[in-house]
A and B are shown apart, each in its own frame.
Chain A
Amino acid sequence: MDLRRVTKIFGDRSDMALAMLNSGASKMEVQQKTGQVVGLNDVSLSVERGEIFVVMGLSGSGKSTLIRHVNRLIDPTSGEVLVNGHDVLKMSLDELRAYRRSEVAMVFQNFGLLPHRTVIDNVAYGLEVRGAEKGERLETAARWIETVGLGGYEKSRPHELSGGQQQRVGLARALAMDTGILLMDEAFSALDPLIRSGMQEQLLDLQNKLHKTIFFITHDFNEAIKIGDRIAVLNDGELVQTGTPEDIIFNPADSYVSDFVRDVNRARVIRVGAIMDRNQLAPCQAEVQENSSCEDVLPLFARHDWIGVVNDKGKRVGSVSAKQVIGALGAHHKLLD
C-alpha cells in the first residue's frame, strides 16, 4: 500500500491553495491568503504487506483524514493512492464499491455500529452488503464473535453493550470481511485504559494468526509503540518521521517527536533484538526471545553477564549485555548533553 505525495486542502478554492503550496508557500501563508485549510501536506508513505503500520499524531494533525484516503472516504486534492497495485483514485464508483467490499475493512473510533441490528447482524453486515448468502454470513459472523470473545451476545443490541464490547463488535465486523487490509481509526481511543490495553493485546494475538496489513491511527504514543511494526509521526499535516519504534525512540527527528519519547517507559518498549550484539554467539547460560523487552531481561543480569538472544524459531541470533541494556535505557540523555 503506497500513498504518494498526498495533499488534502479543505475549502472550495483548493486549486489556488495547491498552486501556492507547490511554489513553496508555507501552510500558514496559504491559510492566511486563501482561507483554505491544509489538512495534509505532501505525505508519502508505504506500508508493507503483513505489517502493523501506525500513524501517530495529535488531534488536528490530519491522521483521520489520512486514513480515509486509503478507502477513499476522502479524495485527496493531489497525490496518488496505490493499494495492491490498483490506483484507488482512478476507480469508478462500481470499482470503488467492489474494492471496499473485498479489499479494505475499517474499524472506527465511535464504532459506527448499526443500532437497530443485533450484534450478529452487525458483524454480518459487511458480508450482507457484499451479497453473501444468509446461512454463510451468519456462520462467519458467529465464528468471529466467538473469536473476539463475545460469544453469548449474538442477539444483544449495540446499546446494551459496554464500549469495549461494542468495539469488539466493530473489530469482528471488519475481520469477518476477510480483507487483506484493515484500517483502524483510533479504534481503541474511546475505551478505558485497562480495556484498551486488553484490546491491543487481542489485536496482536489475532495478527499473529492472520498476518493482515493493518493501518492503525492513534494519538497515543505508547499505543503506537506497543503495537506498531513501524510508526509514522504526523504533525500538523506533515510527516515528521517514519521508522521502527526503536528508530524513533533512539533518534527522534525533532523536538516534537522527542517530546513524546521522553514520557515513554523505555525499559518496557525497547526490545533486546534491537540492541543486541549480533556477532556474539558464544554459548550462554540464559536465553531470551529477541522480542523480549529490556524490562524482562534486567532481572537476569543479577546472575549473568551475557544473555543469549534467540529468534522465534529458537535459533540463536546474538547476545546482549547489561551494559548495552543500560546504555539503551539511558540513551535519551545524549539529547540533553
Chain B
Amino acid sequence: MFPEIIDTRPLRRMVDDGLEWMVRHWGDGFEAGAYPLRVLLNSTERFLLDLPWWLIILLLAGTAFAATRRWVLPAIIVVSLLGLGLMELWEDAIKTMALMISATLTTMVFALPLGVAMARSAVLRRLLRPVLDLMQTLPSFVYLIPVVMIFGPGKVPALIATIIYAAPPLIRLTDLGIRLVPPDVMEAAQAFGVTPRQKLFGVQIPLALPTILAGVNQATMMALAMVVIASMIGAGGLGYQVLQGIGRLEVSRGLFAGLGIVVLAIIFDRITQSFGQRLQERIGLAGERS
C-alpha cells in the first residue's frame, strides 16, 4: 500500500465546493452563455422534423450523388433510411442527426480558428497540445458530471459534452493541414507580395481544405460516437433507445437503434469523405486518405 503522507480530503473538498460555488453563483451566466447552443439545437431539430421524411431521404441521396457521382451510395442511403423509418426509429434518427449536425457546426466555429492560430504560433501549439490530449483521453463521464451540474440534465449539456469530445481531431487536422502546405508554394506567394490575410485565405486554407475536411469527417464520427453517452444526460434520439434497450434487457430495441446509429455514421462518413477526395483530386495532391 502506498503510505498516506498528506491528507487529501481538504483538496477534494475544495474542488467539490469550488464547483458548487460556481454553479450557485455563475449558473445563470453559464445558462445564458449556452443559450445560442440551445437555439441552434432546437431549431435544427425542429427544422429537420418539419421536413417530410421523403424529402430528407431525397436530399441526403442527392448530396451523396453530388459527392460520389455514382449511384451506389445514394441507393444504400435510400434503402437504409427507409429501413430506419419502417422500424419506427425515424424521429429518433432525426433527433440524433440534429445533435450531430449542431455539434459539428459548433465545433467548426471553434476549431477552425483555433487550428489556424495553432499553425501560426509555435507557443500556442505547445500550450494547446496537452489540452487537446486531455480532451481526447479524459473519460467523457468525468466532464459529463460537472457539465450536468452546471446546466442541469438536458440536451445542452449533451451537446457541450459532444463538442468537447469532437473538437480535438478537427483542431489538430486544421493545424496539420496548414502546416503541410508545400513551402515552395508559400514562398512563391510571399514573392508576389501577399498580405498575411491573402496568404491565409488564398493559399493556406484552400490547400489545407482536404485535410480540414478529413477533420470535419472525424468530428462528425466522434459526435455520433457520443450519442449513447449523451443520451444518459438527457439527449433523446437513437442513443436513448439503446440505453432503454440495455436497461430493459430488450436486445432487439438496442440492436435496431444501434444499427440506426451505424447507418447515420456510414452516410455522413461516406459523404464527407467523398467530398474530400474530389477536392484532393482537383488539387492533384498525391496520396489517398483512408
Whether both chains belong to one complex is answered with yes
Chain A residues with CB under 8 Å of chain B are 71, 73, 96-101, 104-106, 108, 110-116, 125-126, 128-130, 157-160, 177, 183
B127 within 8 A of A: no
Q: A73-B191, A105-B191, A105-B192 are in contact. List 5 more A-B contacts (CB 8 A).
A: A71-B191, A113-B188, A114-B189, A115-B283, A177-B192
Interface residues of B in 187-217 (CB under 8 A from A): 187-195, 198, 202-203, 206-207, 209
Contact yes or no, A129 B284, CB < 8 A? no
Interface residues of B in 273-289 (CB under 8 A from A): 282-285
Partner of A116, one of B187, B191, B198, B283: B283
**Given A100-B193, A101-B193, A129-B193, A112:B282 Cβ within 8 A:** no
Contact yes or no, A157 B185, CB < 8 A? no
Chain A proximity of B201: nearest CB distance (Å):
12
A129–B206 CA distance with the chains assembled, in angstroms: 16
Contact yes or no, B192 A110, CB < 8 A? no
A116: which B residues are within 8 A, CB to CB? 206-207, 209, 282-283
* CB nearest neighbor in B for A159: B284
Partner of B207, one of A98, A115, A159, A183: A115
Chain A proximity of B282: nearest CB distance (Å):
7
Partner of B284, one of A96, A101, A157: A157
B207: which A residues are within 8 A, CB to CB? 114-116
A98: which B residues are within 8 A, CB to CB? 193
Chain A proximity of B262: nearest CB distance (Å):
34
Q: State the interface size on chain B (CB cutoff 8 A).
A: 21
B209: which A residues are within 8 A, CB to CB? 116
- Of the candidates B190, B193, B207, B284, the one having the most CB atoms from chain A within 10 angstroms of its own CB is B193
* CB nearest neighbor in B for A115: B283
B184 within 8 A of A: yes
A129: which B residues are within 8 A, CB to CB? 189, 192-194, 198, 202
- Of the candidates A73, A97, A112, A113, the one having the most CB atoms from chain B within 10 angstroms of its own CB is A112
Chain B proximity of A125: nearest CB distance (Å):
7
* CB nearest neighbor in A for B198: A129
A314–B190 CA distance with the chains assembled, in angstroms: 45
Chain B residues with CB under 8 Å of chain A are 184-185, 187-195, 198, 202-203, 206-207, 209, 282-285
Contact yes or no, B193 A115, CB < 8 A? no
A104: which B residues are within 8 A, CB to CB? 191
A125–B206 CA distance with the chains assembled, in angstroms: 14
A96: which B residues are within 8 A, CB to CB? 193
B203: which A residues are within 8 A, CB to CB? 114
22 contacts between A and B (CB under 8 A): A73-B190, A97-B193, A97-B194, A100-B190, A100-B193, A101-B192, A104-B191, A105-B192, A108-B187, A111-B188, A113-B188, A114-B188, A114-B207, A115-B283, A116-B282, A129-B189, A129-B193, A129-B194, A129-B202, A157-B284, A159-B283, A183-B191
Contact yes or no, B193 A130, CB < 8 A? yes
Partner of B195, one of A97, A115, A126, A159: A97
Contact yes or no, B185 A73, CB < 8 A? no
Chain B proximity of A57: nearest CB distance (Å):
20
Chain A proximity of B66: nearest CB distance (Å):
19
* CB nearest neighbor in B for A103: B193
Partner of A115, one of B185, B189, B198, B202: B185
B195: which A residues are within 8 A, CB to CB? 97
B193: which A residues are within 8 A, CB to CB? 96-101, 129-130
* CB nearest neighbor in B for A100: B193
B198: which A residues are within 8 A, CB to CB? 129
Contact yes or no, A157 B282, CB < 8 A? yes
* CB nearest neighbor in B for A102: B193
B191: which A residues are within 8 A, CB to CB? 71, 73, 100, 104-106, 108, 112, 183
B284: which A residues are within 8 A, CB to CB? 115, 157-160
A110–B191 CA distance with the chains assembled, in angstroms: 14
A106–B190 CA distance with the chains assembled, in angstroms: 10
A251–B230 CA distance with the chains assembled, in angstroms: 82
A158–B194 CA distance with the chains assembled, in angstroms: 21
**Given A114-B203, A129-B198, A160-B284, A73:B192 Cβ within 8 A:** no
* CB nearest neighbor in A for B209: A116
A128: which B residues are within 8 A, CB to CB? 202
Partner of B188, one of A112, A130, A159: A112
Chain A proximity of B13: nearest CB distance (Å):
50
* CB nearest neighbor in B for A110: B184
